[in-house]
């Protein structure tokens, strides 16, 4: 892809995982509300390709969008406890501004960072904690209706609906990635839900690379690694995008240590507890 890719929210956790993994593969334009320190900017991205703007600033967004071929839209309020006025402005109005500008600029594809919280309501009391365990075959695959667990989830479900609208009315290729629990180097420690929806940094970068390379119309996929204990299906991401994740939370102990460096003969039965601790409220530890 020779034409620029606009990445909004470039300084955040997901943006940095993407740039650290595939920063040298694309001609990036980076937009964030705050100036990005050089340590967060890939080599080859010049000051002219750095935009400091709010995504609700339509004029600034349109300026950054000029001659862009693809958009990876991450910007927004990431707090699961964000109040309505914030998710309305930053996550809903802001996404509408960016999508509308993309359509008007003739952008080919739009990658929207949705969230597991768009379907957090499926994690009911009668399903958890079995839902997070390998012997449970319940799966969400992206065809289910949104069932948000909080206002943040509502905003992400709304972004998915906006993507559907702009695909159907304007032919914009849109993929919505319901991102799981992104952590670097190891799965979330001692957190069963987080290990079920773990997304490693290298799998994150690979997934978004496939979103920029594959051909699709409108898709909703789950952004998690190839975890044994997953309750999100990654089959659609494999089929539609060619996603081939490398990591699996089952390769780590419940404490987050790689199993290949754990002495399995030391008689320590606590390395991987049969009944791990989990929060009574699935969002207590966050995702």
Whether 152 is catalytic is yes
Question: What is the C-alpha to C-alpha distance for residues 166 and 21, in angstroms, rounded to an integer?
Answer: 29
Q: Is 184 annotated as a binding residue?
A: no
In 3D space, the residue among 236, 242, 183, 180 whose CA is nearest the CA of residue 207 turns out to be: 242
Tell whether residue 156 is among the known ligand binding residues: yes
Q: Is 90 annotated as a binding residue?
A: yes
26, 51, 132, 152: the active-site residue: 152
Cis bond before residue 148 (omega within 30° of 0): no
- For 140, list phi and psi in degrees, rounded to 5: -100, 135
Per-residue buried b or exposed e for 158-169, using 16+ beta carbons within 10 Å of the residue's own CB: bbbebbeebbee
Whether residue 162 contacts residue 118, with contact meaning beta carbons closer than 8 Å, is answered with: no
The H or E element containing residue 169 is helix 151-170
The residues assigned a catalytic role are: 152
Which residues sit in the known binding site for NAD(+)?
A: 90, 115, 152, 156
């Amino acid at each position: 892809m020779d034409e620029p890719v606009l990445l909004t929210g470039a300084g955040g956790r997901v943006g940095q995982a993407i740039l650290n993994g595939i920063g040298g593969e694309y001609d990036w334009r980076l937009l964030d509300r705050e100036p990005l320190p050089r340590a967060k900017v890939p080599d080859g991205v010049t000051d002219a390709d750095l935009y400091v703007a709010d995504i609700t600033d339509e004029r600034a967004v349109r300026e950054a969008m000029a001659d862009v071929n693809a958009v990876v839209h991450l910007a927004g309020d990431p707090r699961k406890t964000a109040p309505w006025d914030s998710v309305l402005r930053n996550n809903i109005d802001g996404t509408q501004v960016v999508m509308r500008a993309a359509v008007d600029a003739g952008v080919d594809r739009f990658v929207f960072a949705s969230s597991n919280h768009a379907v957090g309501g499926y994690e009911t009391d009668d399903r958890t904690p079995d839902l997070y365990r390998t012997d449970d075959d319940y799966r969400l695959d992206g065809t289910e209706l949104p069932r948000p667990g909080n206002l943040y989830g509502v905003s992400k479900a709304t972004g998915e609906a906006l993507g559907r609208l702009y695909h159907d009315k304007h032919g914009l290729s849109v993929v919505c990635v319901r991102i799981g629990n992104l952590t670097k180097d190891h799965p979330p420690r001692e957190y069963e839900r987080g290990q079920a929806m773990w997304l490693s940094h290298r799998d994150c970068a690979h997934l978004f690379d496939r979103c920029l390379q594959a051909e699709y119309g409108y898709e909703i996929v789950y952004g998690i690694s190839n975890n044994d204990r997953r309750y999100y299906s990654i089959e659609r991401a494999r089929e539609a995008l060619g996603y081939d994740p490398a990591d699996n939370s089952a390769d780590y102990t419940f404490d987050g240590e790689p199993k290949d460096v754990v002495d399995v003969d030391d008689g320590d039965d606590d390395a991987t507890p049969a009944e791990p601790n989990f929060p009574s409220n699935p969002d207590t530890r966050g995702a």
